[in-house]
A and B are shown apart, each in its own frame.
Chain A
């Protein structure tokens, strides 16, 4: 290690932030003004950056220099991604890193606050083959009972999930193909869910959240895999759970007139907060409609509305997380820590904390806040690597 390098530099942090910012080593080298080989040595831990280089590194990556000296917290359980396509390798790494940051943020806040007690049904399945449709229905019903939601429409699923002690993040990720991910944190002893807000569809987002909830309950003890069939089975089970949880048989079924029309289902969509597509799937699962009837409804749905959107998709404002936001507000309101010192204490840039916690943009803005520089679009676009991969900024900077 370099004689002049700073003490305690954590190379894992560098690897993590490269994933989160979706930067290659050579792109970062260009931004910091060092050679790619130097970045490689920092990353491997064979050399640590000197003070000035660390400042530049922190500056271009939008974190405090001290952040690079913080020990990385224990890894989250391996999340399940909707898409295992190889095209999304770097996107998955970014999302995983982002979820780790949410864990770090929650852990820092936990120094001062207690989160709601974790209240989830527990299951010990170790293989998806062990899980039957009945098991999923029972788990969904048990979850509703534990959360005292009754068997009717769930008004705000995000509120219910966070009230059960699950940490929720909803942010723009730039990757619309991956709607969400979830994982268990050993250090927090609770799970985290990250939802992509890119589609800005309140109906889809609710279903995505219920889907992740299904993974957390049913698949906690199942080894995740990239094997296609097994991955597909896990996804189908999480989907089934989402349908059963949002649309309980005993109440939902009584509201459906058969034979049904797409317009009947649109009314149900508005009332239950679930897309027509998901309602058709649930009707088929409950054997209220046959496979051929479901197929016919899907055909008519495509013919009338296209494959990607449904009428009224924008009617429902997506549900927002509150828990991390409230924790920060509590710390500020109770004068535990001044507003402007929180980003420095945590080590993230203010806008990263705002996004992870759901605070409004500019919440930490104050004349006392030390503004960390943001990467400009021009500097990013000029740093295209020879392979032609472009750097996607995590979120569009303020114009």
Chain B
């Protein structure tokens, strides 16, 4: 029987995505949402939810793009409705917004579905196969998900929460999903046990010397 892999998805994410990039994306999505809210102010009540949704898409995309340009590589340009993505280590990174905790929006984009196919290679980390041997993949995909609660007409300007999420290959389930603050705390707790180096060592010949002296 094959041994299950020791690596976990969160370890893979932390090894490939620097903490600085995660923090940059967090800031980008929060600020993007606030900019959208400002931009939608003054619109007719009948238009407002629609405008706010559109503005969030554009402003959060732009802020996300800036974060990727400064901290990731291979960032796709801003063009129409195209998904913005960038690369960090073996991960392709994208984003989308969702309402509450049920993320219906996730599969609406063909590009996101296409990106998620790469995660076939990391599924054994969650569900080790009997015959498949896990090998570190060359590609995987993670998304940053901005969550807003309730109906769009009652929502506050800021995101309710932001999640780091790794979909399965069909984007029907999540191999990993965690609030970004909790995920960031993982970087701090990597060193869980402090090394004990306060150890003296016996000098060579110390015992012999004392015996001779006596």
Contact = CB atoms under 8 A, between A and B. Distances in A.
Given A152-B191, A337-B210, A116 B202 contact: no
A112 interface: yes
B190 interface: yes
Query: Size band of the A side of the interface?
Result: 20 to 34
A291 interface: no
Nearest to A119: B197
Interface in A155-189: 155-156, 159-160, 162-164
Nearest to A151: B188
Interface in B40-67: none
A148 B191 contact: yes
A67 interface: no
B83 to A, nearest CB: 28
B195 interface: yes
Given A150-B188, A152-B189, A251-B188, A336 B202 contact: yes
B200 A148 contact: no
Interface in A301-355: 322-323, 326-327, 330-331, 334-337
A329 B199 CA distance: 11
Nearest to A252: B188
Contacts, number: 72
Contacts of B12: none
Contacts of B188: 150-153, 251
A319 B31 CA distance: 43
A326 B199 contact: yes
B81 interface: no
B207 interface: yes
B206 interface: yes
A116 B197 contact: yes
A288 to B, nearest CB: 15
B105 interface: no
B184 A326 contact: no
A132 to B, nearest CB: 24
B201 interface: yes
Per DSSP, are chain B's interface residues mostly helix, strand or loop, or mixed?
Answer: loop
Contacts of B194: 149, 154-156, 159-160
Given A335-B207, A336-B210, A162 B190 contact: no
Contacts of A335: 207
Interface in B170-198: 184, 188-191, 194-198
A323 B199 CA distance: 6
B197 A163 contact: yes
Interface string B116-128: 0000000000000
Interface string B97-125: 00000000000000000000000000000
A159 B199 contact: no
B189 A116 contact: no
Given A150-B190, A251-B188, A112 B206 contact: yes
Contact of A113 (B195, B197, B201, B210): B201
B203 interface: yes
Nearest to B198: A162
Nearest to A110: B203
A287 interface: no
Nearest to A337: B210
A263 interface: no
A330 B195 contact: no
Nearest to B201: A114
Given A150-B190, A152-B188, A251-B188, A323 B206 contact: no
A154 B194 CA distance: 8
B196 to A, nearest CB: 6
Nearest to B206: A112
Contacts of A394: none
Interface string A108-152: 010111111000000000000000000000000000000011111
A330 B201 CA distance: 8
Q: Which of B23, B184, B190, B203 has the most CB of A within 10 A?
A: B203
B191 A149 contact: yes
A163 B200 contact: no
Nearest to A158: B198
Contacts of A155: 194
Contact of B197 (A164, A330, A331, A334): A164
Given A113-B200, A163-B198, A150 B191 contact: yes
Given A148-B191, A336-B206, A336-B210, A116 B199 contact: yes
A148 B202 contact: no
B198 A323 contact: yes
B143 to A, nearest CB: 22
B195 A334 contact: no
A254 interface: yes
A274 B203 CA distance: 38
Interface in A247-264: 251, 254
Nearest to B194: A155
Contact of A114 (B195, B197, B200, B210): B200
Interface of B: 23, 184, 188-191, 194-203, 206-207, 210
Interface of A: 109, 111-116, 148-156, 159-160, 162-164, 251, 254, 322-323, 326-327, 330-331, 334-337
Given A155-B194, A326-B199, A330-B201, 20 more contacts: A111-B206, A112-B210, A113-B200, A113-B203, A113-B206, A114-B200, A116-B198, A148-B195, A150-B190, A151-B188, A152-B189, A162-B198, A163-B195, A163-B198, A254-B184, A326-B198, A330-B200, A330-B202, A331-B202, A336-B206
7 contacts: A113-B200, A114-B201, A114-B203, A254-B184, A331-B206, A334-B206, A336-B210
